[in-house]
A = this chain, B = another copy of it.
Amino acid sequence: MAEKSARSLYPYERRNFTEFVDHFSFAPSQEFNLTYLISTEEWKPGGPILFYTGNEGLIDHFAQNTGFMFELAKILSGAVIFAEHRYYGTSLPFGSRSFLDRNHFGFLTAEQALADYAKFISDFKCANRQFSNSPVISFGGSYGGMLTAWFRQAYPNIVAGGLASSAPIWLFPGMADCRGFYQVTTRAYRQAGGDTCISTIREVWSLMDDIAAERGLASLSGLFKTCRPFPNGDFIYEFTKDYLITLAMANYPYSASFLGNLPAWPVKVCSFRISYVEYIRSSEENCLSFDGNSTNLDAKGWELQTCMEMTNPICSDGKSDMFKPSTWDPIEFSNACQRKFGVRPRMGWAGVQWWAKNLYTVTRLIFSNGDLDPWSAFGVLEKELVPGATVVRIASGAHHLDLRGSHPNDTAEVRAARSLITNHINSWINAWHREAHPLYCLDF
């Protein structure tokens, strides 16, 4: 499969770097090991360091699904580094106690993660002086794309430029219409199957309710081939909704295992069932498990982040989208976080820290989005507010399609996007080499 071959085509080495748990206070003195993957096979002196700002999952997962960086390394004689996000994969600040309480998980913030990356790169260059003349280009998809944008904003001394792919930087309360996410999901299905598709899905919701009411939940569990019975009716709806969203996010022109094993163009209306069957077949138990982590992402860590600084309102009106109407209430959300984790979100903070829609000073940054990616609802789609950045839109593109390795089935649109991105990165590298960028190292 495409993803596994990426690993064998571009082998990397696994290493560790010591980080402070808290970069911004001197109260605690704990340190932990951050995992990173590195490949220097293609690197030549002066060539860039292509750096992935890891997001919510095991870092290998992103390395195996970001073939574009390995292809760029070849073109640009670059090194490739994937840094793992703290509290994910093997980068647990307090080992098995990392999620114990807020005194442990409280350091799971974007600021701390970016400080990890900045300190790591700075120390890496000082310890490996052959890279002192290597500009760092940052890459990230989804939350990783948000991190890449913020990385360039906060540390332009470290990062010469960045590709923020499918980055919903405006997912925060008060920054976007909370209905957008489901509206774009609906658009993806409408484009694939027309209005008939939308009305069919709407019918399914009431049909499921009817079956559950008439024949019981067990019969629905049988229909869905679930490993254990659905716990309740709401769960079935939530599960099915999430499944449809996953198909939209991973609606790539070829079979991929990024968010579960899926066929090419899984959203295509007639292939719903095929997608589903393949999805179940690829599971270990040959039945549908909703207990495990089918998406390779760590839902626990991310849920915590939404309860601290990454709160993301999503709602639907049931009219402009194909889902059941649902509201989002900030007080309710905050109370739920308090009950579940003993912490309340600071909903306004990300806007202060990461500039909300005041992005006039941003330069050498690309915001790319697929038009059919649900997350594009919170992304930068117009150049107006980011005059110094580049906005790339990929027609029929799903969730950070551009970051994936090239594939014979790739659309003309994504090929063009990758080519444009490559040109921009090239120009940043050239500009960086024309400027003086004195390395800052302590030599004692």
Contact = CB atoms under 8 A, between A and B. Distances in A.
A360 B435 contact: yes
B173 A442 contact: yes
A22 interface: yes
How many copies of this chain sit in the oligomeric assembly?
Answer: 2
Given A27-B103, A27-B107, A112-B24, A156 B435 contact: no
Interface in A161-197: 173-175
Interface in A337-372: 343, 346-349, 351-353, 355-361, 363
A122 interface: yes
Given A109-B26, A308-B26, A435-B360, A352 B119 contact: yes
Contacts of A44: none
Contact of A385 (B107, B123, B436): B436
B348 A122 contact: yes
Contacts of A122: 348, 351-352
A330 B106 contact: no
A154 to B, nearest CB: 7
Interface in A385-416: 385
A292 interface: no
Identify whether the interface residues of A are mostly helix, strand, loop, or mixed.
Answer: loop
B440 A112 contact: no
Given A115-B353, A356-B438, A436-B385, A26 B155 contact: no
Contacts of A440: 174-175, 348, 351-352, 356-358
A330 B442 CA distance: 10
A156 B361 contact: yes
A23 interface: yes
Contacts of A343: 26
Interface in A419-444: 435-438, 440-444
Given A27-B107, A158-B352, A361 B363 contact: yes
Contacts of A112: 24-25
Interface string A314-354: 00000000000000001100000000000100111101110
- Which one of A26, A123, A438 has the greatest number of beta carbons of chain B within 10 Å? A26
Nearest to A105: B26
A103 B22 CA distance: 12
Given A25-B107, A106-B26, A112-B25, A444 B352 contact: no
A353 to B, nearest CB: 7
A220 interface: no
Contacts of A3: none
A201 interface: no
A355 B439 CA distance: 10
A358 B27 contact: no
A348 B442 contact: yes
A351 to B, nearest CB: 4
27 contacts: A20-B346, A23-B24, A23-B349, A23-B353, A25-B25, A25-B109, A26-B102, A26-B107, A26-B108, A26-B309, A26-B346, A27-B103, A28-B106, A118-B352, A119-B352, A122-B352, A155-B355, A156-B355, A157-B359, A158-B358, A174-B440, A347-B442, A348-B441, A357-B438, A357-B440, A358-B440, A385-B436
